[in-house]
């Protein structure tokens, strides 16, 4: 089974915009630029201003990769970070145990929005972070959940 099969087939851009769905591309995956040498035999495509490159084909077994998703002609790489916004007046840090219970940990709380946090899967697996978004959405006080999708408009393969 391809490492990409661990990622959800589709992800919503936001729980507040459920109609905007990104679909996983099985012919592309992303790797950090510092690991590009391992893929010298494959076609590599630098991805915008990010520290990622897109690779055509399937990843090697057990290789840690990021899935590439598309919505129309927009390609996006799912990083495994997820933005969670709680109700106004809540503080994200008060939900640490709730987040741990569904497999996440807080990575950062923006100083401008204490009711929100960037979270990632406790097992550090980007596929796991995406698969368990429905669990995040069910937590008490959660108003919106958005996976981090790094996009570059108009890139066509």
- List every span in the chain annotated with CATH 3.30.70.80: 80-148
Whole-model pTM? Answer: 0.89
Tokens of 74: 């927009």
Question: What is the per-residue pLDDT for 37?
Answer: 64
Question: What is the per-residue pLDDT for 39?
Answer: 58
> In this model, does residue 153 exceed pLDDT 60?
no
Residues 66-124: tens digit of each pLDDT: 999 999 988 999 999 999 999 999 999 999 999 999 999 999 999 999 999 999 999 99
Question: What is the per-residue pLDDT for 36?
Answer: 66
Length of the chain equals 157
Cα–Cα distance measured from residue 119 to residue 111, given in angstroms and rounded to the nearest whole number: 15
Question: Residue 94 contacts by C-beta under 8 Å, 6 or more apart in sequence?
Answer: none
Largest CA distance in the chain: 52
Cα–Cα distance measured from residue 133 to residue 99, given in angstroms and rounded to the nearest whole number: 11
Report the top-level CATH class of 80-148: alpha beta
| pLDDT bucket at 26, cuts 50 / 70 / 90 | very high
Residues 27-77: tens digit of each pLDDT: 999 988 877 666 555 666 777 777 888 988 888 888 889 999 999 988 999
Question: What is the per-residue pLDDT for 58?
Answer: 85
Question: What is the per-residue pLDDT for 118?
Answer: 98
Please tell me which residue, 40 or 143, carries the higher pLDDT value: 143
């Amino acid at each position: 089974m391809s490492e990409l099969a661990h990622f959800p087939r589709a992800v919503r851009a936001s729980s507040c915009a459920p109609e905007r769905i990104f679909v996983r591309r099985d012919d592309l995956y992303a790797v950090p630029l510092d690991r590009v040498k391992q893929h010298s035999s494959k076609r590599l495509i630098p991805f915008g201003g990010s520290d990622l490159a897109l690779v055509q084909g399937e990843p090697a077994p057990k290789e840690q990769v990021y899935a590439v998703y598309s919505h129309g002609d927009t390609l996006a790489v799912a990083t495994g970070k997820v933005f969670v916004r709680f109700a106004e007046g809540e503080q994200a840090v008060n939900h640490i145990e709730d987040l741990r219970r569904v497999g996440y940990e807080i990575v950062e709380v923006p100083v401008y929005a204490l009711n929100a946090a960037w979270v990632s899967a406790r097992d550090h697996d980007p596929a796991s972070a995406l698969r368990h978004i429905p669990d995040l959405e069910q937590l008490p006080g959660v108003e919106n959940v958005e996976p981090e999708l790094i996009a570059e408009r108009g890139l066509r393969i």
